Amino acid sequence: MRLKESIDIVEFLQAVEQCDGAVFLQTSKGDITNLKSLLSQYTFMAMMCNPDLLKDAQVICIQEEDYRKLEKYLLAYE
C-alpha cells in the first residue's frame, strides 16, 4: 500500500514500532528499506523531503494484521 501524502512522520514511525512483524518501504526503483531500522528511518525521513522519491513507493508488512496498525497512514491499492 502507498503512503498518504501528508502524514506525521514521527507518528507514523511510532506506529511502525508497534507492528509485530517487519515493515518495509519499497521504492519504484526496487530499493527496499526496513522501517524498523533506526538508520533506515533516518533515510526515510530524508526521502520525505522529496515527495517524488516516495511517489510510487509501497509499504509492505510481513504480518497482515500490521496493515491495520498503519491504515491511518496508507492508501488502499488502486
How would DSSP label each residue in 21-66?
S-EEEE-TTS-EEETTSHHHHHHHHHHHTSHHHHTT-EEEESSTTH
List the chain pLDDT tens, one digit each, 78 residues.
899 888 899 999 999 999 999 999 999 889 999 999 999 999 999 988 887 888 889 999 999 999 999 999 999 764
Tell me the sheet residues that pair with 23. Answer: 61
Q: Is residue 22 part of a domain?
A: yes
**Total tally of structural domains belonging to the chain:** 1
Q: Is residue 59 part of a domain?
A: yes
Q: Is residue 8 part of a domain?
A: yes
Model confidence pTM above 0.85: yes
Q: Is residue 78 part of a domain?
A: no
Domain that includes residue 7, residue range: 2-73
